[in-house]
Amino acid sequence: MSQNQVPTAHQKSALKNIVQFTSSSFYRHMLGLATAFFRPGLLGAELFGIWSLLNVIPFYANSAHLGTRSAMRFKIAELAEKNNNSLKRLTNTTLVVTLIATTVFAAIMTGYALTTPLVSEMEYGLYAMAIIIFLNALYEHYGAEAKGYHNFTLVSQTTVIRYTL
């Protein structure tokens, strides 16, 4: 674009999306940095160790979809242009695969917590993580769907709300 051209509505929209998405990402990282300093002091050594151990679970559970969510995100743009019924089938199938895999993962954790003698904080933490990974799977699925539709305003807003909570 030359210096005397006025930006089009699409260019303004793209710039707005970039600014919103970048701002929400920056907010998420700054909030994470701030909590990294306060969490150890607030929890104490034993509970911080349990927190750190339990926090590994969502990291690995986030891959339970085995790449279907990532494939869906990039396929949405192609199918949306054609306006065919495959799009709804794709998003529904991806959601079902994600939820089945996450449910299996959560059931294994819950079963372990029920059958193994653990410190009560660890047991409750496993129950909480089972719920968190399930909710996180839903959040990530709908976030990938929004990204596939290029709805970065929604993605940015949900990022700010999620990390604030």
> What's the token pair of residue 30?
């700054």
pTM (predicted TM-score):
0.79
Give the residues of the chain that fall short of pLDDT 50: none
Give the pLDDT confidence score for residue 30 in this predicted structure. Answer: 92
Q: Sign of the C-alpha dihedral, residues 81, 145, 164, 58?
A: negative
Contact 163, 28 (CB under 8 A): yes
Confidence (pLDDT) at 9: 58
Tell me: the pLDDT tens digits for 43-61? 888 888 888 888 888 888 8
pLDDT of residue 5: 63
The answer to whether the beta carbons of residues 127 and 113 sit under 8 Å apart is yes
Predicted local distance difference test score (pLDDT) of residue 96: 93
| Structural contact between residues 147 and 155, judged by C-beta atoms closer than 8 angstroms | yes
